[in-house]
Amino acid sequence: MRDILHCDMNNCYASIEMKLNPKLRGQALVVSGSVDERRGIVLAKSEKAKKLGVKTGETIWEAKLKCPDLITVPPQYDQYLKHSLMAREIYYSYTNQVEPFGLDEAWLDVTSSKKLFGNPNVIAEDIRKRMKKELGISVSIGVSFNKIFAKLGSDMKKPDAITCIPHERFRKIVWPLDISSILGIGSSTRKKLNKINIYTLGDLANTELSIVEKLLGKNGKKLWLYANGQDQSKVADMGFRPEIKSVGNSSTCTEDLLNAEEVYHVFQVLALKVCERLIQYGYQAYGIEIHIRDYEFNSVSYQKKYSYPAYSSIILCERAMDLFENYKVFRPIRALAIRAIYLVDIDKTQLDFFALEDGLIKKSNLDQAIYEIRKKHGKDSITFASLKENVKLPTDLQDIYTLPNSMR
């Protein structure tokens, strides 16, 4: 029997902000994008804001209807990443099997750690105390015999709590819970299960597997196994790196985009970000996908696979504009996204005639040079001349921090 912990940093972004500025402690606080730059969405909330009904994902004006004295602060992603890595150092002092799940969560397999550090509950309590002392942040920890129930345990009691779901008592603890309590069941799946009178995890566990599979396919079998305590997925080892299937970036614009030229400039900026990350990871992309959201919040996506791969921002932008031609009825655009898909290793592709005709090598070399200069001298040290004009993007457009978060 395995011993798995799931550690969840409570109200992570808001907690870090309160640590950095003690005057914010105990306040109704949210981390949000800029209202002036039309990104006023709640990204994270403090415990007090949560108790007042503030929800992640809602607009600031909606949140302030519930809490007129709400304090808003901009995100500091560099600090969140720093604290995430500090937490991981604590986890690694107990086991080399640590699998992050986003910036603020991680699974730990402590099966082989008991002789050194004590039983799983003792280890969990030690981690809880160290997180408060060394990072100034509370953590909720689930202790169980598989990853799914460990995650469920950390969700059951918050903040600053430890919840144990042992094998011999999991039916009593888990089965009365709503089916949405478990990882992998969102609102759509929940509605489908409710239609056949499956409301609790016990209902799911005791339904014939063939019925669940017929309703949900392969995912149905996986969820049925979860409910029956049969999750066998392993916690990733220290050296594990999950396969990256796509690399993207997006932004809400500071003003609506009114013509194709403005769209092109935004795609240039987003493509530069994507290009940098492709080079960092050692990938190039056969395909591209774009996402468009207009001023009335209507969304549409287009994607295409091309005959040869590329990582150059110039080519990525050209392909994005190629796809943009499908947007026949132009409506003022609020937000754009670009995503590189069908990834392959940079060094494992043979160039063909069409790639050479499109100047792939020259464009790729240019982007490689831009990447190296930015890496050495900062992201503002060099850019395309056209981007010195007024591009309708936030001045603090953030890079996306990607950490392993696989659930195999």
Residue numbers annotated as active site: 105
Give Cβ neighbours of residue 19 (< 8 Å, ≥ 6 apart).
135, 136, 137
Q: Taking a C-beta distance cutoff of 8 angstroms, is the pair 263, 393 a contact?
A: no
Task: Give the number of other Cβ atoms within 10 Å of residue 103's Cβ.
Answer: 22
Structure tokens at 246: 């796509």
Annotate 246-307 with three-state secondary structure: CEEEEEEEEEEECCHHHHHHHHHHHHHHHHHHHHHHCEEEEEEEEEEEECCCCEEEEEEEEE
Q: Which H or E element spans position 397?
A: none
Note whether 100 and 238 are within 8 A (CB): no
What is the DSSP-derived secondary structure letter of residue 28?
-
**Which residue do the tokens 């190296």 mark?**
372
